[in-house]
Structure 1
Amino acid sequence: MKFTKSKLGNLADFTTGILLPRIKDPIDEKPSQRMIYNPLSRSVRYIHGDSELPLITTDQIGISMLQREAYLVEKKAFVDEQILTANFTAATLDSRVKQSYFVWWFNHSIEAQRQLEALGQLGRRVILKDLREMTISIPNLSLQHDIGELYVLSQKRSIALKRKADLTEEQALQFIRQHMMEEG
């Protein structure tokens, strides 16, 4: 199998986000058509206003510069725009790299992990220069598709199993609390 090696700077355009305090429009949990992009947060925050802000779209990859993780950007129901904040960078890949393959590569490949480890201690943010200098091995599009699809399916299954485990734990704790109240 032949792989092509290339620097990420030759395969992707990167866009940085805005610092939250610089957003002049009100931000809260009340739904609107503009939300703050943050795949790491369980709570959703929305922006109310129409000032021009950097966006991330479903044809891009979100990269957490602090967590050193990449994410597929998902379409959110009733949301027209996802606002890119300074904690994330948007990567627009060229046609030689499939999004799901890139996310797998960035998050799990030995090649990417070694490069990320070489950038210094884990608590340090990755900077754009670091991303552009990383080297990626690119297989043919068919293999990228297969790797990416398997990765996405495994992630979805993992999330479903975690939700089931959380629900089981919640039910067990509720049963224990009820039982303790009857005893006490």
Structure 2
Amino acid sequence: MKTEPVPYSTVASFTPGAHVSRIRQNDEAKACRFYATEQFMSDCWQPGNTINGDKEQVVRPTQAVLSVRTGDVVISLIHGKAAIVSPEHAGRLLSNNYVRIEVDGSKVVPAWFVWHFNESKESRRQQALATQGSTFVLRLSLTEVRQFTATLPPLNKQKAIGGLYLATIEKRHYQERLAALNEQQILSQLSDMIQ
């Protein structure tokens, strides 16, 4: 028996990050760094631009701000992708380009949610419709994402799909990294042969 799709908003809560310009600051407050593209791409197992820590944007908020925790599901509204926050990125602040997702564990497995949002035909179709007509920046809105629907399989299937998905993208990352290192080694050896 096929189940009916349910809106994301019925199986998860969504908390948007803060607008950087709206964060009240004080030089005496603790310095905080943002969860930015570099960290997001790393958590997606994608190569990203390496940013020197000295060039990262730092704020000293005097108000409560949303920071990510290890295992949080985060959606980038700019990239149209979801990721699970790794331990090395925990504690960073979310800007308004990101949304923290808290799934209802009795209905959805976080890794499955990431797979569904990133890879499922169901989600890709909805993302394409949501960004249709956008000419400059393909940015999802939080309102649209909340309305996306998912056909939920049983939790045991979700766990299997999500686990396999995360293992697959991690494996692909390391295979691509190994291929790049092999290419560098060969090119270096060729250069040495000429000299």
Structure 2 residues without counterparts, runs of 5 or longer: 42-47
Contact 1:8–1:131 (CA under 8 A) maintained in structure 2? yes
Q: Which whole-Å deviations, capped at 9, do the CAs of 1:100-133 have from their partners, x for residues lacking one? A: 0000001110111111111124732101110111
Distance (whole Å) between structure 2 residues aligned to residue 80 and residue 142 of structure 1: 28
Q: Which whole-Å deviations, capped at 9, do the CAs of 1:80-116 have from their partners, x for residues lacking one? A: 6121112211111112111100000011101111111
Q: Which residue of 2 aligns with 1:74?
A: 86
Distance (whole Å) between structure 1 residues aligned to residue 187 and residue 138 of structure 2: 38
For structure 1, which segment, 66-75 or 3-12, has the greater mean C-alpha deviation from structure 2 after superposition? 3-12
Query: Could you say what secondary structure the match of 1:81 adopts?
Result: coil
Amino acid at match of 1:65: L
Q: Which whole-Å deviations, capped at 9, do the CAs of 1:17-41 have from their partners, x for residues lacking one? A: 1234555478xxxxx9844213124
Q: Which residue of 2 aligns with 1:29?
A: none
RMSD: 2.6
Residue correspondence of structure 1 range 20-35 to structure 2 within 5 A: 20-22=20-22, 24=25, 34-35=32-33
Distance (whole Å) between structure 2 residues aligned to residue 72 and residue 25 of structure 1: 31
Q: Determine if the alignment matches structure 1 residue 109 to structure 2 residue 128.
A: no
Structure 1 residues without counterparts, runs of 5 or longer: 27-31
Query: Could you say what secondary structure the match of 1:119 adopts?
Result: helix
Q: Determine if the alignment matches structure 1 residue 64 to structure 2 residue 76.
A: yes
Distance (whole Å) between structure 2 residues aligned to residue 124 and residue 170 of structure 1: 34
Q: What's the CA shift for 1:59?
A: 4.1
TM-score calculated relative to the size of structure 2: 0.77
Q: What's the CA shift for 1:145?
A: 0.5
Q: Which residue of 2 aligns with 1:93?
A: 103
For structure 1, which segment, 32-41 or 86-95, has the greater mean C-alpha deviation from structure 2 after superposition? 32-41
Distance (whole Å) between structure 2 residues aligned to residue 120 and residue 36 of structure 1: 26
Q: Which residue of 2 aligns with 1:132?
A: 146
Contact 2:70–2:86 (CA under 8 A) maintained in structure 1? yes
How many positions carry a matched residue from both structures? 174
Contact 1:33–1:81 (CA under 8 A) maintained in structure 2? no
Q: Which residue of 2 aligns with 1:149?
A: 163
| Distance change (3 Å), C-alpha of 1:172 and 1:156 | same
For structure 1, which segment, 157-166 or 58-67, has the greater mean C-alpha deviation from structure 2 after superposition? 58-67
TM-score calculated relative to the size of structure 1: 0.81
